[in-house]
Amino acid sequence: MIEREYKNLIQHPIPPFFDKNSKILILGSFPSVKSREQMFFYGHPQNRFWKVAAAVFEQDVPQSVAEKKEFLKRNNMAMWDVIGACDIEGSADSTIKNVRPNDLGVILEKADIRAIFVNGKTAEKYYNRYTKDVINRTAICLPSTSPANAAWTLEKLTDVWKVIREFSNDKA
């Protein structure tokens, strides 16, 4: 057996966020350095996730982690990442190696998730490689809210991300 060298293996430090009322699951690839420091998702101030989600649901942009958690609960959203551990340099998705996926069963067994969305192509790639066949569910890929995805304006992102709204309420 060949031993892999794990130079920069980092365990995902943020637990999944969900409750029994969660209807949609948003999955990123792996948390950025800033998100790991804050111990919550999309913690980098230039990531547009919270601005996009707030615009989609026509609500104020949550600022603190407590406000972000309340926002997610109010809109029946669960959140986690596809990757549970990996080698990564800083926050660069392009450096991800030696992926160990998260077990989404911890969410899917307790919440009535109607739709799974991945935030960007990197999350989609690893979801399709490690998770899709395990849970037998397809994820809808939405354009990344990362500042690296500069081709997408906040307005264009919000327009495409509006699809999450139709799955998030109790009437769906």
In a domain, 35, yes or no: yes
**DSSP helix/strand/coil, 40:** coil
The pLDDT tens digits of the residues spanning 13-44 come to 999 999 999 999 999 999 999 999 999 999 99
88-124 per-position pLDDT tens digit: 988 888 889 999 999 999 999 999 999 999 999 999 9
Residue 118 neighbours by CB under 8 Å, 6+ apart: 26, 27, 28, 82, 124, 127, 139, 140, 141, 142
Residue 5 belongs to some domain of the structure: no
Domain annotation covers residue 101: yes
With respect to residue 1, please indicate whether it lies within any of the assigned structural domains. no
What is the reported pLDDT for 170? 59
Nearest 5°: phi and psi at 94? -65, -15
Average pLDDT, the chain: 93
The domain that contains 38 carries what CATH number?
A: 3.40.470.10
- Count: domains in the chain: 1
Does residue 18 lie within any of the structural domains?
yes
pLDDT band at 2 (very low <50, low <70, confident <90, very high): very low
What range does the domain containing 59 cover?
A: 11-168
Q: Residues 63, 69, 71, 72: is their CA dihedral positive or negative?
A: positive
